[in-house]
């Protein structure tokens, strides 16, 4: 029979009477007459008391020596008479004995999975360590956020698109992508859904997608993974200002919904105060806006050199947010030298793009970017030339994307967000790796 | 300014007064004094009337010659005096002129995108054809179903896992997977999330995921794609009977929710009666159950030969469902020769597995499968030997998955469902290709 009763409910109901618990032993203590087991399930922990002298526990010595993490089921009388919820076992069954000594033990309540010393265990053996309570809690908040994002877009009448992962269209350099062989055709794993969302706006006007995205970049920074969860949205009839306003609203509302859904999880992580501060910063009315040109001037004023036209480094971003009272900071009009070819240019300064990035303070850096897209065929073609994407082979790859500009594609733009980065910022995590159960990290062997 | 008013609302509100429409021209007619445009947006179609004689339309000849699919915005007075909702234009703007003559025209209301003659256009140029109203409607229903599935699992207290797409664990033969190069390590694209969901049940007890999955199989049947949307769920403390009951409930409730959410879409497709019949068949109380052994006997009785131990063919499945009044049919206890190594064996018949497949009638075939998984280390190892997965290299790949059997992994099992196949059955589609905007089909060149 499927399990229908969970520890959290038993403790919440707090009624004397028979209960059954299925779970895992995560702690053991003994006295002269009793054995005390801490049993966890996915909802909580409860103490189970075994009376050594009662006949029901003939194999009491076996239980005493059971390894932590063994799975058991226990039937018995619930009581809370000593202000300690417990079940006095009348029957128990070893459902699955643990025989492996994991070091460190994932269910040890004192284990800090975010400690640097722990990383090698997590990276090598995520299979065993994602059951650690704190890590499992972070992963749950992350995936709840993912779901809330989808719900937000559906409620706001966007349609979820399913862009292909197999595509010819790499956006950036070919060596920044992963390649597979499909019946002799060399195909890349999608790095950016824009090529497959834009056609969707003629059908739906407002579209979004949430996909696993793969970047074959050598970066091993704290905010880069080879495999990450990418939110993309694309809207017809929208310009940069519209997109900035929508993106801020979307981010704020979905984060607040997630925090509201995950009160228990935030308590487990002990993050109440930090989350309050982050939510406040994520409120769009507290964002600051600066142009890339002004940003560079500010960086130079602070005594740091900077090559105009490059992307901001992590350090640059930190300087800028620090100078803005650690607010979230929009940096707009990024030079075209630092951006992909599909982005629209600024009318009065064609070396700049209609792109704006949202930077989180405290070194967390870029979490979201928005861009107006080019709608004119000739303009797009000339941008492709500048980016050396005008070989016959490249023009063939982007042929339909180009031709879409001849099919009534109106003014439009998109939002791109790294879901791991937002969760890293919200939960104040040292590395995005903690936001995926099986993180794929460059130059790190995959054991799963 | 972002568009906030949509054609569906204008028609629904049905109030005389000024309105603005952003959309695409999908039809044109003219009389002596007027030009009539059919303007569509993502919500509907409305007639716009241009008065040839009024000064506001100086470039009326230009409008007259505009190609279909051109994007325009129109301001004017709404009225419905002739029982024909229309806007008498006082101002219009060509937002983006279409210059390409698409043949066939995707916005032609008479175009049947599910016609065999049309497939080559769709396969070659999905970029232009996913805006076809019927096709866009199918894709929207599919992605709504995807979202409703996630919502169902969250409401039933499952946690959404994010299994890696990059993995060593291929489940079946290596040449059935796609491979990428990750810093010199040869890594496959995941074909089955089970290896990464099972560790999750120790943390969450009930988990699910919805992922794009890639199969490098040569099959070009009507229900195979190289890239498809895969629902997987895994539950602790569950056996085959539990899983059959949960899977049926999940399928029925999510399909009903989707049909309820997509009333308008089903009307566009003209599928009312068909959907009613499908929903009735999808009700678990109407499912039939048969064992594989009995199924083979039945097939032979119907005069068809069959090699015991093989998977059922499409034809076999059709014979079986026909013999069961075209009900959905569970076929349980599939022989181990036709299944992967992680599946538990039947206690009293170890050549059979604790696997059950749900077959849809009418040739639609398998849409869902469930399986109990092996929890014992030695048993799993011996199943791997039988499947020749016991080379040192293979044992290394599955080491942690094996060792998880030493870490208190209790009785558990999983559900796997091909979302495209369910949608194909529900909407009575000839091919699963219609359920993805950019279908990846074997031996078919990718143009996107």
Task: Identify whether residues B356 and B407 lie together within a single domain.
Answer: yes
Residue B118, domain member (yes or no): no
Q: Is B404's CB within 8 Å of A143's CB?
A: no
Q: How far apart are CA A126 and CA A439, in angstroms?
A: 8
List strand residue ranges (DSSP E) for B190-241, in order.
206-214, 227-236
Is residue B375 predicted with pLDDT exceeding 90? Answer: yes
Buried b (16+ CB within 10 A) or exposed e, B181-195: ebeeeebbbbbbbbb
Same domain, B414 and B272: yes
Q: Is B400 on the interface with A (CB under 8 A)?
A: yes
pLDDT at B55: 58
Report d(CA A380, CA A336) in Å as an integer.
13
Domain annotation covers residue A105: no
Question: pLDDT band at A123, cuts 50/70/90?
Answer: confident
Domain boundary among A60, A76, A96: A96
The whole-number pLDDT of residue B58 equals: 60
Average pLDDT over residues A353-380: 98
Closest chain B CA to residue A131 = B203
Whether A447 is covered by a domain: the verdict is no
Tell me whether residues A203 and B42 touch, CB distance under 8 A.
yes
> Is A206 an interface residue toward B (CB < 8 Å)?
yes
Shared-domain flag, residues B292 and B149: yes
Domain co-membership, B275 together with B133:
yes
Alpha helices in A185-306 (DSSP H): 194-197, 200-204, 240-261, 263-269, 272-282, 292-301
- Using CA atoms, how far residue B366 sits from B224, B280, B308, B359, in Å, is 11, 18, 18, 4
A residues 221-250 lying closer than 8 A (beta carbon) to B: 226-227, 229, 235-238, 242, 245-246
Residue A221 above 70 pLDDT? yes
Of B147, B167, B246, nearest to A150 by CB-CB distance is: B147
What does the DSSP assignment read for B60-117?
Answer: HHHHHTPPTT-EEEEEEEEE-TTSS-EEEEEEEEEEE-B----SS-TT-TT--TTSGG
- Whether residue B161 lies inside any domain: the answer is yes
CB pairs under 8 A between A and B: 302
CB contact under 8 Å between A199 and B169, yes or no, is: no
A419 touches chain B (CB under 8 A): no
How big is chain A, counted in residues? 448
- Phi and psi torsions of A46, nearest 5°: -140, 150
Preferred mutation among A167, A203, A436 to probe B, highest tally of B CBs within 10 A:
A203
CA distance B72 to chain A (A): 9
For residue range A59-105, list pLDDT tens digits in order: 777 888 899 999 999 999 999 998 999 999 998 899 999 999 999 99
Look at residue A146 and tell me if it is in a domain. Answer: yes
Q: Are A385 and A340 within one domain?
A: yes
Q: Are B330 and B427 within one domain?
A: yes
Q: The CATH number of the domain where A60 resides is what? A: 2.40.50.140
Interface touch B3/A200, C-beta < 8 Å: no
Query: What is the SS3 string spanning A330-342?
Result: EEECCEHHHCCCC
At A41 the pLDDT is 97
Pick from B139, B154, B203: which is nearest to A131 by CB? B203
pLDDT (tens digit per residue) in A278-289: 999 999 999 999
B174 and B76 in a single domain? The answer is no
pLDDT value at residue A58: 59
Statement to judge: residues A167 and A268 lie in one domain: yes
Say which of B136, B160, B226 has its CB closest to residue A204.
B136
* The pLDDT value given to residue B4: 92
Range of the structural domain that residue A409 is part of: 124-435
- Give the per-residue pLDDT at A55: 58
Kindly state whether A113 is in contact with chain B, defined as any CB-CB distance less than 8 angstroms.
Answer: no
What is the predicted pLDDT for the residue at A12? 97
pLDDT score, position B233: 98
Q: Which of A164, A195, A440 sits opposite B164 (nearest CB)?
A: A440
Overall average pLDDT of the B315-328 stretch: 97
Percent of chain A with pLDDT strictly greater than 70:
99
**What confidence tier does B155 reach under pLDDT thresholds 50, 70, 90?**
very high
Q: Which residue of B has its CA nearest to A101?
A: B407
Average model confidence (pLDDT) across chain A: 95
Residue B240 burial (10 A CB sphere; 0-12, 13-18, 19+)? buried
What CATH number is attached to the domain comprising B168?
3.30.930.10
Would you say residue A189 lies in a domain? yes
The mean-pLDDT minimum among A215-224, B152-161, B194-203, B221-230 falls in A215-224
* pLDDT in the model for residue B61: 79
Q: Is it the case that residue A218 has pLDDT exceeding 80?
A: no
B441 in any annotated domain: no
pLDDT in tens, A399-435: 999 999 999 999 999 999 999 999 999 999 999 999 9
Share of chain B above pLDDT 90, in %: 89
Query: Which chain B residues have a beta carbon less than 8 Å from that of A96?
Result: 375, 408-411
Query: Which residues of A fall within a CB distance of 8 Å from B203?
Result: 42, 130-133, 136, 139
Q: Which site among A40, A42, A189, A211 would you substitute to test the B interface, given the most B Cβ atoms closer than 10 Å to its Cβ?
A: A42
The predicted pLDDT at position B63 comes to: 85
Q: Hey, is the C-beta of A288 within 8 angstroms of any chain B C-beta? A: no
Q: Which of B43-47, B55-59, B61-65, B99-103 has the lowest mean pLDDT?
A: B55-59
| A448 touches B at CB < 8 Å | yes
Residues A89 and A132 in one domain: no
A214 touching chain B per CB within 8 A: yes
Note whether A184 and A91 are same-domain residues. Answer: no
With an 8 Å Cβ cutoff, is B199 touching chain A? yes
* Per-residue confidence (pLDDT) for residue A28, from 0 to 100: 94
Instruction: Name beta bridge partners: A356.
Output: A332, A370
- Find residues 128-167 of chain B whose CB sits inside 8 Å of chain A: 128, 130-133, 136, 139-140, 142-144, 146-147, 150-151, 154, 159-167
Give the per-residue pLDDT at B285: 98
Is A3 in the B-facing interface, judged by CB distances under 8 Å? yes
The predicted pLDDT at position A171 comes to 87
Q: What is the mean pLDDT of residues B300-309?
A: 94
Nearest by CB to B448, which of A169, A200, A242? A169
In a domain, B101, yes or no: no
Look at B399 and A447 and tell me if their CB atoms are within 8 Å: yes
Q: Given phi > 0 = left and psi -120 to 50 = alpha, else beta, which region is B92? A: beta
Cα nearest neighbour of A242 on chain B: B2
The residue among B47 and A119 whose pLDDT is bigger is B47
pLDDT (tens digit per residue) in B247-269? 999 999 999 999 999 999 999 99
Looking at residue A62, what is its pLDDT?
86
Contact B126 A199 (CB under 8 A): yes
Average of per-residue pLDDT values in chain B: 95
> A70 and A146: one domain?
no
Q: Please answer yes or no on whether A211 and B212 come within 8 Å at the CB atom.
A: yes
Residue B289 has pLDDT above 80, yes or no: yes
Band of residue A57 on the pLDDT scale cut at 50, 70, 90: low
> How far apart are the C-alpha atoms of A14 and B124, rounded to whole Å?
63
Tell me: do A241 and A371 sit in the same domain. yes
* Interval B50-62 mean pLDDT: 75
How near does any CA of chain B get to the CA of A249, in Å? Answer: 14
Long-range contacts from B429-433, C-beta under 8 angstroms, 24+ separation: B429/B114, B429/B138, B430/B114, B430/B116, B430/B222, B431/B119, B431/B222, B431/B223, B432/B222, B432/B223, B432/B224, B432/B225, B432/B228, B433/B119, B433/B122, B433/B123, B433/B225
How confident is the model at residue B432, as a pLDDT?
A: 95
Domain boundary among B79, B96, B113: B96
pLDDT tens digits for range B212-236: 999 998 777 899 999 999 999 999 9
CB A57, CB A51: distance < 8 Å: yes
What six digits make up the tokens of B289? 């159950």
Neighbouring C-alpha atoms within 13 Å toward the C-beta of B315: 7
Structurally, chain A folds into a number of domains equal to 2
- Is B410's CB within 8 Å of A168's CB? no
Instruction: Tell me the chain A residues in contact with residue B162 when contact means C-beta distances shorter than 8 Å.
Output: 139, 142-143, 146, 212, 229, 436-438
pLDDT of the residue at B12: 97
Judged by a CB distance cut-off of 8 A, whether residue A181 touches chain B is: yes
Distance set, CA B19 to CA A180, A398, B75, B76 (Å): 50, 38, 6, 6
Q: Give the integer Cα–Cα distance in Å for B153 and B247.
A: 11
């Amino acid at each position: 029979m499927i399990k229908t009763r969970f520890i959290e409910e038993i403790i919440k109901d707090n009624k004397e009477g028979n209960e059954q618990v299925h779970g895992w032993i995560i702690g053991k203590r003994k006295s002269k007459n009793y054995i005390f087991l801490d049993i966890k399930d996915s909802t909580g922990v409860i103490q189970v008391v075994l009376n050594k002298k009662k006949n029901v526990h003939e194999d009491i010595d076996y239980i005493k020596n059971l390894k932590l993490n063994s799975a058991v089921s226990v039937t018995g009388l619930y009581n809370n008479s000593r202000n300690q919820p417990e079940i006095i076992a009348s029957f128990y069954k070893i459902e699955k004995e643990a025989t492996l000594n994991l070091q460190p033990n994932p269910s040890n309540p004192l284990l800090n999975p975010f400690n640097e010393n722990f990383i090698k265990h997590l990276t090598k053996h995520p299979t065993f360590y994602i059951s650690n309570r704190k890590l499992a809690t972070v992963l749950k908040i992350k995936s709840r956020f993912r779901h809330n994002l989808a719900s937000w877009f559906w409620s706001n009448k966007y349609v979820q698109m399913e862009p292909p992962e197999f595509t010819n269209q790499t956006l950036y350099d070919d060596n920044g992508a992963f390649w597979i062989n499909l019946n002799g055709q060399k195909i890349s794993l999608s790095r950016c859904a824009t090529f497959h969302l834009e056609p969707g706006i003629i059908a739906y006007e407002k579209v979004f997608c949430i996909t696993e995205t793969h970047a074959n970049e050598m970066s091993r920074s704290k905010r880069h993974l080879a495999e990450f969860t990418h939110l993309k949205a694309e809207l017809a009839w929208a310009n940069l200002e519209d997109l900035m306003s929508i993106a801020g609203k979307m981010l704020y509302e979905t984060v607040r919904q997630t925090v509201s859904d995950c009160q228990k999880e935030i308590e487990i992580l002990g993050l109440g105060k930090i989350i309050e501060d982050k939510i406040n910063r994520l409120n769009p009315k507290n964002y600051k806006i600066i142009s890339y040109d002004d940003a560079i001037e500010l960086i130079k004023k602070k005594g740091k050199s900077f090559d105009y036209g490059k992307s901001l480094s992590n350090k640059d971003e930190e300087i800028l947010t620090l100078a803005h009272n650690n607010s979230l900071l929009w940096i707009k009009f990024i030079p075209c030298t630092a951006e992909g070819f599909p982005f629209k240019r600024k009318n009065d300064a064609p070396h700049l793009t209609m792109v704006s990035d949202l930077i989180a303070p405290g070194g967390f850096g870029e979490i979201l970017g928005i861009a107006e897209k080019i709608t004119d065929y000739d303009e797009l073609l000339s941008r492709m030339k500048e980016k050396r994407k005008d070989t016959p082979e490249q023009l063939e790859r982007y042929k339909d994307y180009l031709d879409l500009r001849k099919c009534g594609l109106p003014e439009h733009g998109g939002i791109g967000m790294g879901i791991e980065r937002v969760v890293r910022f919200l939960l104040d995590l040292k590395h995005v790796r903690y936001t995926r159960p099986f993180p794929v990290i460059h130059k790190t062997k995959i054991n799963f």
